[in-house]
Amino acid sequence: MGAGHAGLTASRFLTESSIDHVVLERGEVANSWRRERWDSLRLLTPNWLSRLPGHRYDGPDPDGYLTMGEVVEFIERFATVARAPVRTGTTVLSVRPAGDGYHVTTSRGEIRCRAVVIASGACNQPTVPPFSTAVPASVEQTTPFDYRDPTRLADGGVLVVGASATGVQLAAELSRSGRPVTLSVGEHVRLPRLYRGRDVLWWMDASGVWDERHEEVDDLTRARRLPSPQLVGTPEHATLDLNALTAMGVELVGRWAALRDGRALFSGGLRNMFSLADLKMARLLDTFDEWARAHGGEFDSPERFPATRVPESTRLQLDLRSGEIRTIVWATGFRPDYRWLDVPVVDAKGQLRHVGGVVDGPGLYALGLPLLRRRKSTFIHGIEDDARDVIDHLARNL
């Protein structure tokens, strides 16, 4: 299920194992990148990391970052190289157990199969807090699924909620468009774009941090909920942390905790939250330095970055009826959608119960979920190892 890079990689390995299969896709190949992303988005992973089995970026700018159009082309080419039997425009409406396999109802008919690989994505819907329904009607609300570019927003102030990759990128873009931007910051992951002369993701890759396996992680549930890093892919290789946003004039406030009588109430304690993110970043950079000492190589000297600046005074509330804020952008994360799955394998939080992609139902598998088998599981370059393991299991099971 799903013709994103995960489903297509599964298809490639199924073909290699001579297993008859079909890839069902409700839209087109790379549908999420075509329909659910904003216009200016580029990958935050450098081009040299765009690698899938038997297909990798081979253009003139390995250190650059693909635009959405380029990502779509890259994945489309992979579908061709992998000779994936994709049926586009075919929505899976239900999957239910039948005999020693599954009965799949699609918008184009019924299918019987022995196994199902769920590669329908981890980010099918934006997550928005329930209190959003009580936001005064005078304030427009949008999510990264609907947002395309700043010109489509009402003139005036914007409150961006969430300071992970999406939130910091949209806050920067909206601030550059001339709007006053307030950013509500919760737990976040700070990273510099470049470290010791290399892309910080080069260090993640080389040092093996991304290869850490699900069995080795102490608190897997928590690790699977880790927010995406504050990174942006730009030709300038710019760092986009909170200090960069403050320098642009973005106002930082705490986590949006509640909404009362039309007032957004923010948590205090920014200082602690910033120190925690600074500390975690420093620990990760220590890991990279240790790796560099052990392995040698030509690198710039170790660097440490200035602490995240705490604003002199932070607002703890904002009256949404005052007209100061015209739009709220919810950059509060994404979640999968399993409403079509008629198998009791989804927990109370809406997450699939699985161990390393082997779902708690015979012949049912998953790919592309956070830390499915490794820290790199949701990234394009992370799918190859996971898909090989999962399809091996599936083949043995059949």
Ligand X SMILES: Cc1cc2nc3c(=O)[nH]c(=O)nc-3n(C[C@H](O)[C@H](O)[C@H](O)COP(=O)(O)OP(=O)(O)OC[C@H]3O[C@@H](n4cnc5c(N)ncnc54)[C@H](O)[C@@H]3O)c2cc1C
Residue 120 near ligand X by CB under 6 A:
yes
Rounded Cα distance, 392 and 398, in Å? 10
Widest pairwise Cα distance in the chain? 65
CB-nearest residue to ligand X: 4
The CA-atom distances, in angstroms, between 176 and each of 153, 295, 361 are 13, 42, 49
Question: Counting contacts by CB under 6 A, is residue 117 touching ligand X?
Answer: no
Give which of 107, 73, 112, 75 is closest to 90, Cα–Cα: 107
Convert residues 137-176 into a mask of x (bound to ligand X by CB under 6 A) and - (unbound). -----------------------------x----------
Reduce the DSSP state of residue 100 to 3 states and report it. Answer: coil
Of 236, 247, 1, 16, give the one whose Cα is nearest residue 124: 1
Question: If binding is defined by CB under 6 A, does position 119 make contact with ligand X?
Answer: yes
- Of 111 and 259, CB closest to ligand X: 111
Query: Up-side HSE of residue 135: CA atoms within 13 Å toward CB?
Result: 23
**Distance between CA atoms of residues 365 and 120, nearest Å:** 11
The Cα-based distances of 361 to 96, 118, 119 in angstroms read 11, 12, 16
Could you give the CA distance from residue 91 to residue 78 in angstroms, rounded to a whole number? 22
| Range in contact with ligand X (rule: CB under 6 A) among 51-59, 171-179, 280-288, 373-381 | 373-381
Our finding on whether 43 is near ligand X (CB under 6 A) is yes
Residue span 328-347 as binding mask against ligand X, x where in contact by CB under 6 A, dash where not: ------x-----x-------
Nearer to ligand X, 253 or 369 (CB): 369
Stretch that binds ligand X, among 114-122, 260-268, 280-288, 294-302 (CB under 6 A): 114-122
Give the binding range for ligand X (CB under 6 A) out of 40-48, 178-186, 296-304, 309-317.
40-48
Radius of gyration of the chain (CA): 22
Nearer to ligand X, 169 or 182 (CB): 169
Region near ligand X per CB under 6 A, out of 42-50, 216-224, 357-365, 387-395 = 42-50
Closest separation between CB of residue 364 and ligand X, Å?
15
Residues interacting with ligand X, by CB under 6 A? 1-7, 24-27, 31-32, 37, 43-45, 91-92, 119-121, 123-124, 166, 334, 340, 368, 378-380
